[in-house]
Amino acid sequence: MKTCEIISVGTELLLGDILNTDAQFLAKELAALGLCVLHQSTVGDNHDRLLELLGQAAKRSDIIILSGGLGPTPDDITKEVACEFFEKELVLHGESLERMSAYFTAKGLVMPETNKKQAMLPEDCVVFNNNNGTAPGLAMEKDGKHILLLPGPPRELKPMFYESAVPYLKRFSDKVIISHNIRTFGIGESAMSETVADLLECPNPTVAPYAKDGEALLRVTAMADNEAEAEKLCVPMIEEIRARLSDYIYGIDCNSIEEAVVPMLIENKLKLATAESCTGGLIGKRITNVSGASKVFDCGIISYSNEIKHRILGVSKEALDKYGAVSAEVAKQMAKGALKISGADIAVSVTGIAGPSSDGTSKPVGLSYIALADKYNVWVKELNTSRKDRDYNRFVNSSNALNMVRLYINKML
């Protein structure tokens, strides 16, 4: 298996002015090609440091992918340094000069003199045309080491990668890597890992646990000669994990719980309504992230005060006085109220203290109540994240509300 590394060039990356999305894009695409990325580095537009890094990279990797530093200004030196390292001369590439000139003409502009630098390309390189900007990319080889130069702007890099770099790299990919993400809700990363501890030792497919935003997931990754073989390796592993964690798994290869729940609602012909206090519209927002949500969702009430909870959702003044806005009873009445006003089949509600500061009662920040009502019953869950992180609390609250819908449909409430 050929090893590959990614070098991102740009002082703006070192200063943190821009997020390095190129490295992620390249890493993912190279993995999909079956190329093994073992290092990623970022270095500024600096001759000595880039040259040194190329030396290290060429020792440990077969293929080096550089992005950035192909611009027309004097501080763009990636191509020059790469040529110095590979001992190649830069010569004018007529076709690229014409393409660049045409690019400016199409925009009603005259090509600035400085851009000509971009048409100077190493002798006997493979030129990657840029259909979305001026700087051509390229690939060159010496002593069995390959180096690819790509422009930094994602809107130029991505199409060039697909159009030119992938055909160039195909010859090196002998293995294919495929991953599947098994997403769970309601179990922590540690507990999940303990349940599948023996599987985490498996070499192929590998199984790796991750945690994010109050959820835990397992990633199953197989390597094989082709896609079909890799998929075949994944199947029994996914089945085994499914058997052990079934109640917690909300989806495989979906990106979020709402992407799992909306299709479940559609399939079961259930209309959902929401009544939100501390989440302030986030549950509605997440449901309507999913295109087609209008089939199952048409009404949400954001009731951020006691008065609105009472007047629009019909929460009783007694419950508000006796238990407070953040209480199981109020959550239940909110869900029932949303059900009534919307005419939906089920309704979820959230009331809680998202923080960072307390609501003036003795209740802790991070406490919330999440309820689900149908025409006959109402269920409520108490949750305490013990965190003062407003964003986290609101997100986890909304996830729990969505998960309650999943549990309801699966008759697990």
Q: Which of residues 340-379 bind its own copies (CB under 8 A)?
A: 341-342, 355-357
Per CB under 8 A, does 44 bind its own copies? yes
Distance CA 38, CA 6 (A): 9
Using CA atoms, how far apart are residues 125 and 140, in angstroms rounded to an integer? Answer: 5
The nearest distance, CB 285 to its own copies, in angstroms, is 4
User: Any contact of residue 23 with its own copies (CB under 8 A)?
Assistant: yes
d(CA 89, CA 14): 29
Q: Which is nearer to its own copies, 249 or 282 (CB)?
A: 282
Size of the site for its own copies (CB under 8 A): 106
Which helix (H) or strand (E) segment holds residue 103: the answer is helix 94-106
Which residues 381-400 are close enough to bind its own copies by CB under 8 A?
A: 384-387, 389-392, 394
Out of 303, 351, 393, 397, which residue is the one contacting its own copies (CB under 8 A)? 303
The residue (of 122 and 366) whose beta carbon lies closer to its own copies is: 366
Contacts of range 232-235, beta carbons closer than 8 Å, 24 or more positions apart:
233/204, 233/205, 234/178, 234/180, 234/205
Question: x/- string (CB under 8 A) for its own copies, residues 262-301?
Answer: ------------x-x-xxxxxxxx-xxx-x-xx--xxxxx
- The residues in 66-125 that bind its own copies, with binding defined as CB under 8 A, are 71-75, 103, 106-109, 112, 114-115
CB-based contacts of 365, cutoff 8 Å, min separation 6: 353, 354, 355, 356, 357, 358, 387, 388, 393
304 binds its own copies (CB under 8 A): yes
Q: Which of 204, 246, 268, 305 binds its own copies (CB under 8 A)?
A: 305
**314 scored as a contact of its own copies (CB under 8 A):** no
Q: Which is closer to its own copies, CB of 194 or CB of 247?
A: 194
**What burial class does residue 306 get, using C-beta atoms within 10 Å of its C-beta: 0-12 exposed, 13-18 middle, 19+ buried?**
middle
Amino acid identity of residue 184, one-letter, is: T
CB closer to its own copies out of 90 and 312: 312
Other CB atoms within a 10 A radius of the CB of residue 299 amount to 17
Decide whether 276 or 329 has the Cβ nearer to its own copies.
Answer: 276
